[in-house]
Amino acid sequence: MTKQSQHKTINWGIIGLGNIANKFAQDLLTIEDAQLYAVASRSQEKADAFATKYNAIKSYNSYEALVNDPNIDAVYIATPHALHKENTLLCLEKGIPVLCEKPFAMNAEEVSIMISKAKEKNVLLMEALWTNFLPHYQYVLNELNNKTYGNILKLEADFGFYREFDESSRLFRKSLGGGSLLDIGIYPIFAALSTLGIPQDIKADATFFENGADSSCNMVFKYDNNITANLKSTLLEKTPTEAVFHCEKGIIKINSGFFMPTTVSIISNDKEETIDFNYKTIGYNYEILHFNNLLREEKVESDVVTFQFSKQLIKLLDDVRASIKLEY
């Protein structure tokens, strides 16, 4: 995007039109100087319906057709995990900036290929870790980095909900990266990586559905000074889905739905204070605004979700998979 076009409307395309794409499109409508220009599905009917719902100008029945549209400024990839690498490379080859839903890809090797292609083409690429851009999460990171309540002693983070097993659903299809770890376990792992860094040791155990996809995963990350992160993901039960940072002089608790817009409770000196961030959107607008700014500034890498961070995150996922002997 040239300096002369910094204030022009950014034309977004979306590849893959499932549940998360709907949420993204809904929040995109709240952003000035950006619009949903085109959407693509393997079904023209589905593409047309999505385009009508969110006022997209174009709808395509193939991803190839969308990336060949010269008016596209950026593409959001919301296809199943197993397709992220292929879909990202399709866009990058055309010089189109990509915001790719997490997990970035299926493993570290795929992520490395994607990042190498982005660098080769000098095109912006970012993993869509929306939690990192939410004001409540940035607030907590700031408090932890400033050691407002001293050093972290322990982290407990979980993400769990119940879904009846359905092998036809993307969530359970092992071939698409289904199961608890890649889909929701990434969030507790993200919480640990973004606050404690890379662990010295990982221990994990899991339960599995009959098709081999993991139904739950319990993880313990160990760090220097006996600091631990106890992490959990499960599709078998509803859990608190909180991130609780036990610090030397208090507790910082990101309340239920820690990965999405929520509140933060501070427990210190026998007092508890809850901070409400007055969210008015689903929360995807924050990462979109960041990406739009990167585009306007002609950046090719985010300074918030860096390539290094994405590589570290996928390696942790790979390490946990090795520990529980989960192969795709």
Which of 129, 159, 180 terminates a domain? The answer is 129
Residue that finishes a domain, picked among 77, 101, 129: 129
Q: Are residues 142 and 249 part of one domain?
A: yes
Both tokens of 132, joined, read 């990192």
Pairing of strands 201-208, 152-160: unpaired
Do 141 and 266 fall into the same domain? yes
- Work out how many domains the chain is built from and give that number: 2
Residue 134's CB is within 10 A of a number of other CB atoms, namely 22
In a domain, 327, yes or no: no
> What is the DSSP-derived secondary structure letter of residue 3?
G
* Residue range 169-189, pLDDT digits in tens: 999 999 999 999 999 999 999
Q: Is residue 284 part of a domain?
A: no
The single-letter code of the amino acid at 239 is T
Q: Are residues 101 and 150 in the same domain?
A: no
CATH code, 144: 3.30.360.10
Same domain, 101 and 199: no
| DSSP sequence for 182-228 | IIIIHHHHHHHHHHH-S-SEEEEEEEE-TTS-EEEEEEEEE-GGG-E
Q: Are residues 157 and 270 in the same domain?
A: yes
Residues 117 and 144 in one domain: no
Digit-coded pLDDT (tens) for 184-215: 999 999 999 999 999 999 999 999 999 999 99
pLDDT at 7: 60
How sure is the predictor about 2, in pLDDT bands with cuts at 50, 70 and 90? very low
The domain that holds 47 is classified in CATH as: 3.40.50.720
Q: Which long-range contacts (CB under 8 A, 24 or more apart) does 89-95 make?
A: 89/113, 89/114, 89/117, 90/63, 90/64, 91/15, 91/67, 92/117, 92/118, 92/121, 92/123, 92/125, 93/117, 93/121, 94/67, 94/68, 95/121, 95/123
Q: Which domain holds residue 22?
A: 3-129
In a domain, 317, yes or no: no
**Structural domain ending residue among the three candidates 91, 114, 129:** 129
Instruction: Evaluate whether residue 314 is within a structural domain.
Output: no
The pLDDT value recorded for residue 239 is 98
Same domain, 62 and 144: no
Q: What is the pLDDT of residue 328?
A: 87
Mean pLDDT for the stretch of residues 144-148: 98
- Residue 209 lies inside a defined structural domain of this protein: yes
- Does residue 103 have a cis bond before it (omega within 30 degrees)? yes
Q: Are 291 and 91 in contact (CB under 8 A)?
A: no
Residue 60 lies in a domain: yes
Q: What is the pLDDT of residue 4?
A: 36
pLDDT per residue as tens digits for the range 44-94: 999 999 999 999 999 999 999 999 999 999 999 999 999 999 999 999 999
Query: How many residues in the chain?
Result: 328
Read off the tokens for 148: 């407002």
For residue 167, name the pLDDT band (cuts at 50, 70, 90).
Answer: confident
Q: Does residue 143 share a domain with residue 272? A: yes
Asked if residue 319 is part of any domain, the answer here is no
Do 110 and 166 lie in one domain? The reply is no
Parallel, antiparallel, or unpaired for β 98-101 and 214-222?
Answer: unpaired
174 and 90 together in one domain: no
**Judgement on whether residues 120 and 144 belong to the same structural domain of the protein:** no
- Describe the strand order of the beta sheet including 271-275 as a list of residue ranges: 201-208, 214-222, 228-234, 152-160, 243-247, 250-254, 264-268, 271-275
Q: What are phi and psi of 147, to 5 degrees?
A: 55, 40
The answer to whether 108 and 315 are in contact (CB under 8 A) is yes
> Are 37 and 109 within one domain?
yes
Residue 276 burial (10 A CB sphere; 0-12, 13-18, 19+): exposed
